[in-house]
Amino acid sequence: MKRSNYKIIFANLALLLMLVLPNLTLAVTYGTLNDAPKLTNNFATNVGYQPDKAQPLPVVIGKIVETVMSFLGVVFFVLIVFGGWKWLVAGGNDEEIGKAKSLIRNAIIGLVIVFSAYLISRFVVSAALRSVSG
């Protein structure tokens, strides 16, 4: 099968999943648009955000850094899975297997770097919070 056929099949499958999966979630609607601010505030309070209380700058920066690091961790994990998939479909071709191994190795190195940066940033933000709060 040609590579373009795989792309067409993948694009159709992705489109099908985007159209069908939201209907399978059995999402429930809550009221009207007039209820949206109340629901948003309830959700924000449930996840730990306090709208009436301003948060210090180190906390905000820490949350942004944690979010970015979490996203990068997911990206590198997906790269590891993709490298495994490339290795799986290499069909014994040594050049393709070498590329897949290289991708996996580089993704693992990236994951270790991101995890280390996450730990360091978490330590720095917690130290900054301790210095701010006294």
Answer whether residue 22 shows pLDDT above 70: no
State residue 80's pLDDT score: 93
pLDDT of 28 > 60? The answer is no
Whether 119 and 66 map to the same domain: the answer is yes
Residue 29: predicted pLDDT: 58
Same domain? For 100 and 35 the reply is no
Looking at residue 107, its amino acid is A
The answer on 61 and 38 residing in a single domain is no
- Which is higher by pLDDT, 48 or 123? 123
Q: Specify the pLDDT at position 38.
A: 65
pLDDT of 81 > 70? The answer is yes
Length of the chain counted residue by residue: 134
Domain tally for the chain? Answer: 2
The whole-angstrom distance between residue 133's C-alpha and the CA centroid of its chain comes to 31
Report whether pLDDT(66) > 90.
no
CA distance 123 to 128: 9
pLDDT in tens, 87-103: 999 988 999 999 999 99
Tell whether 93 and 111 lie within a shared domain: yes
Residues 21, 73, single domain; the answer is no
| Full residue range of the structural domain in which residue 21 is found | 1-53
Cβ atoms of 97 and 55 within 8 Å: the answer is: no
Is the full-model pTM beyond 0.75?
no
106 and 44 in one domain? no
